[in-house]
């Protein structure tokens, strides 16, 4: 497992990533709200109403306690989280990768992109088991879309990560994200940790990689390793040069 810390351009923006920051704030506020609901029955009702359930597609009254159309849950599920670990992991990825994708797309298009990736993640979960009654929550589908877009935009960008949650490493994005993608398929085919909706990640990832091609701003290049290497050079510390000794004898 890799946990992203920051990339080579932290806090360097042509325009501040207001949408990324707003999405992080919205996710945190909604998570705190769900925690504040004392009664477990009421909390469950809220989650069931806003979560996406594959079996509910096309059947507005199929889900117990549901009072919203299933189409709305294609997006609302992405703003719910099950635990502190769940939300911290998703928001860390959004914090590290979201600003660069938002800069490449522009604020409004990035918001649309994020929501479309969330919906694609929900459909990925549905495709894996259309009859499932298990509710889906979490921003991971949208986050996977951002990760996919980042890979196409900045494959050579260096990223500091915690490998296995304890070893700090500085690696190129293509290695970090490539390992993350491989891990998704390994977990799918190994059938491990069935509580995680792995196909949601795949649906969001594919959507993000496709959408960024068409939604990026004019002039924004794909696979721009030259820019990534220049940024790495600019951010690298200048090596100390000791003055040459002058022999006065």
- Contact, 142 vs 201, CB < 8 A? no
pLDDT tens digits, one per residue of 100-127:
999 999 999 999 999 999 999 999 999 9
d(CA 152, CA 33): 36
What is the per-residue pLDDT for 244? Answer: 47
Q: Is 170 helix (H, G, I), strand (E, B) or coil?
A: strand
In three-state secondary structure terms, 6 is: strand
Residues 23, 98: Cα–Cα separation, whole Å: 10
- Computed over every residue of the chain, the mean pLDDT equals 83
Q: Which range, of 89-103, 179-193, 204-218, averages the lowest pLDDT?
A: 179-193
Q: What is the pLDDT of residues 17-70, one digit of tens each?
A: 999 999 999 999 999 998 888 666 667 777 878 889 888 776 554 444 455 677
pLDDT at 65: 44
pLDDT at 150: 96
Q: Which CATH class is domain 2-232?
A: mainly alpha
Long-range contact pairs involving 230-235 (C-beta distance under 8 Å, separation at least 24): 231/8, 231/9, 231/157, 232/8, 232/156, 232/157, 232/158, 235/8, 235/9
Distance CA 75, CA 167 (A): 35
pLDDT recorded at residue 249 = 45
Question: With bands split at pLDDT 50, 70 and 90, how would you rate the model's confidence at 10?
Answer: low
List beta partners, residue 158.
172
Q: Of 157, 176, 160, nearest to 233 (Cα)?
A: 157
Query: Which stretches of the chain are assigned E, i.e. beta strand?
Result: 2-7, 158-163, 167-172
> Can you give the residue ranges of every domain in the chain?
2-232
Strand order in the sheet with 158-163: 2-7, 158-163, 167-172
**What is the Cα–Cα distance from 36 to 108, expressed in whole angstroms?**
31
List phi, psi (to 5°) of 131: -95, 5
Lowest mean pLDDT among 3-12, 40-49, 53-62, 153-162: 53-62
Q: For the chain, what percent of residues have pLDDT higher than 70?
A: 80
């Amino acid at each position: 497992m890799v946990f992203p810390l920051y990339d080579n351009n932290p806090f360097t923006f042509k325009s501040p990533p207001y949408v990324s920051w707003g999405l992080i704030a919205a996710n945190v506020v909604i998570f705190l709200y769900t925690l504040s609901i004392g009664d477990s029955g009421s909390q469950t009702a809220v989650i069931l109403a806003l979560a996406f359930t594959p079996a509910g597609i096309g059947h507005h009254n199929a889900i117990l306690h549901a009072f919203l159309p299933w189409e709305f849950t294609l997006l609302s599920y992405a703003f719910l989280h099950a635990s502190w670990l769940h939300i911290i992991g998703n928001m860390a990825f959004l914090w590290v990768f979201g600003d660069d994708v938002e800069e490449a797309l522009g604020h409004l298009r990035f918001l649309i992109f994020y929501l479309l990736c969330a919906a694609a993640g929900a459909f990925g979960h549905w495709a894996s088991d259309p009859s499932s009654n298990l509710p889906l929550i979490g921003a991971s589908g949208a986050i996977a879309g951002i990760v996919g877009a980042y890979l196409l935009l900045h494959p050579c960008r260096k990223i500091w990560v915690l490998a296995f949650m304890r070893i700090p490493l500085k690696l190129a994005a293509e290695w970090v994200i490539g390992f993350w993608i491989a891990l998704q398929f390994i977990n799918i085919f190994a059938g491990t940790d069935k509580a995680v909706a792995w196909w949601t990640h795949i649906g969001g990832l594919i959507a993000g990689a496709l959408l960024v091609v068409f939604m990026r701003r004019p002039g924004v290049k794909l696979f721009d390793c030259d820019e990534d290497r220049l940024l790495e050079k600019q951010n690298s510390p200048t090596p100390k040069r000791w003055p040459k000794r002058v022999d006065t004898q």
